[in-house]
Amino acid sequence: MWRNVLFDEGRNIAKRAERAQEAGDHGLARELYLRAITKFREASEISQDFKEIGVLRSLVSYYTDRVGALENETGYDNVRGSRLALKPPEKVTPASDEKELLRGSGVSEQVFKTVLSIAIEISREGREGHAIGTAFLIGDAANVMAKSRQLVLNPFEGHSRGNRMITDSETRDDIKEFAQLDGVFVIAADGAVEAAGRYITIDTGIIKLQRGLGTRHSSVAAITSATHALGIVVSQSGGIIRIFKDGMIVFTLKP
């Protein structure tokens, strides 16, 4: 009886893992695969049917291979053992710390941390109970503005620079409100918010990202490859945060 319960639980968890992987939430998929593997192992340990044991061990082997493939694809940090810090894929130029990430962008550590904290809040809380996706481009604002256009009226236009600094609490609240708009936020290196609802106009055809990532991700990748800006994208599905530099994903965070 108990082995059947464990087997059914393992199978259901594995199905959830497969759905998470298809949705691009590799951190959650890995966690669920490991839970499914544990259930199958526990079932095999109490089973007295050799054929059944063989099936269960095959499932353990199969899903262990899937975990390994996920870790290779995402560069999961086994030492830290956390979905909060995935190492960059091998094809990405490593940005091992914030200083390396910010190098050449002109963006200060304070500004970057502030934008990232806002992205994390949006990822966790959404807006009015609904999950939302959004994106931020930080630094090299003049070039970013030249390679984009407004989708909607820019809510920050006409305000003094001092009244649209990202480090100001009122501006933070405005950002979370305007995150529901289509398009991206453009933030200068010193933290002044230049625009919201900005549409990136450069060609994204040369950008190659992992399957499952949409237009927002490819557009941010493209603009960071053509400028010195850094990009932060919050996925509406799953709340995953991806950080872009030089057209590539350099960090993936799951708050």
Query: Are 156 and 194 in contact, with CB atoms under 8 Å apart?
Result: yes
For the chain, what is the mean pLDDT? 81
Query: Are 192 and 165 in contact, with CB atoms under 8 Å apart?
Result: yes
* Domain chopping of the chain, boundaries: 2-74, 98-253
Residue 90 CA to residue 2 CA, distance in Å, equals 43
Output the CA–CA distances (angstroms, integers) from residue 18 to 33, 41, 42, 68, 147, in the order listed: 8, 19, 21, 14, 38
pLDDT, tens digit, for every residue of 208-222? 777 777 888 889 999
What is the fold of 2-74?
Methane Monooxygenase Hydroxylase; Chain G, domain 1 (1.20.58)
**DSSP labels, 194-232:** EEEEEEE-S--TT----TT--HHHHHHHHHHHHSS-EEE
Query: Are 176 and 127 in contact, with CB atoms under 8 Å apart?
Result: yes
Output the CA–CA distances (angstroms, integers) from residue 95 to 105, 152, 167, in the order listed: 13, 34, 24
Give the confidence band of 206 by pLDDT, cuts at 50, 70, 90.
confident
Quick check: pTM over 0.85?
no
The answer to which of 40-54, 203-217, 222-236 has the lowest mean pLDDT is: 40-54
Q: At the top level of CATH, which class does the domain 98-253 belong to?
A: alpha beta
**DSSP labels, 69-134:** HHHHHHTB-TTTT-TT-BPPPTTSPP--SHHHHHTTT---HHHHHHHHHHHHHHHHH-BTTB---E
Give the confidence band of 143 by pLDDT, cuts at 50, 70, 90.
very high
Place of tokens 């501006």: 171
pLDDT, tens digit, for every residue of 160-195? 999 999 989 889 889 988 998 889 999 999 999 999
Phi-psi region of 208 (alpha: psi -120 to 50; beta: other; left: phi over 0): beta
Going by C-alpha positions, the residue among 14, 26, 23 that lies closest to residue 68 is 26
Tokens representing residue 90 in the block: 């091998």
Report the pLDDT value the prediction gives residue 255, as an integer from 0 to 100. Answer: 65
Report the pLDDT value the prediction gives residue 74, as an integer from 0 to 100. Answer: 62
